[in-house]
Amino acid sequence: MTASNASDGLKTVAKAVAVVAFVCMLHSGYAAREFLLYSKSIGRQDLTLPIEIVLECLGALGVMIFAVVLGVGELKPVSYEAEMKRYSIDGVFSRPSFQVYNHRGRYLRPSRPAEPAAKD
């Protein structure tokens, strides 16, 4: 219980960080636009962006990537073998479209574990 609570807390924090980083990215874009407009209006020849804006943009991007990865749900193992572990040999060979229903199943458990639902 505590483990899931801790991971839930981590996820909330990560999501908040991702939002902040996104706002920072927007801010860097706005700053870049302002800088270019200002440079043009004063007739500056060199239009390369100042290092602060570039750093803010790239830094925010890096933080956001990590925060988003931490903030999403459980990641699954990527290997095909890990995926195959979920399947049993009975499931793989069960061939549901070809199952027949006139088998002995009805005589195996006549006690009826589930009754018909009371529905109209």
Partner 1 sequence: MSSLALLAEIRQSSERLPYEVLKLAEPLLNNNQLTSSTEDAWLVYEQVFLAALDEGQIDLAKSLLHILRTRFPASQRVKRLYGLVNEAAGHPDESQNLYAEITSADPTNVLALKRVIALLKAQGKLALAANELVAYLDTHGNDFEAWLELSHLYLAHHMYRQAAFCLEEVILQQPANHYFHLCYAEINYSMGQWDIALKEYLRVVELSTDNVRGFYGIKVTADRIIEMLASGARAGKSRREPQALSGLENVPQVPVLEKLSLLATERLVAAYSANNAAAAPAKALEDWLKQ
Coil, strand or helix at 2: helix
Does 112 help bind partner 1 (rule: CB under 8 A)? yes
Q: Binding mask 57-96 vs partner 1 (x if CB under 8 A, - otherwise)?
A: -----------------------xx--x-xxxxxxxxxxx
Q: How far is the CB of 70 from partner 1 (least distance, A)?
A: 24
Q: How far is the CB of 71 from partner 1 (least distance, A)?
A: 22
Whether the CB-CB separation of 25 and 65 falls below 8 Å is answered with no
How many whole angstroms separate alpha carbon 64 and alpha carbon 25?
9
Supply the angle between the helices 51-71 and 2-41 in degrees, to the nearest 10: 160
Which tokens go with 9?
């807390």
**Choice from 1, 51, 78, 118 touching partner 1 (CB under 8 A):** 118
Would you tell me which residues interact with partner 1 (CB under 8 A)? 80-81, 84, 86-103, 105-110, 112-119
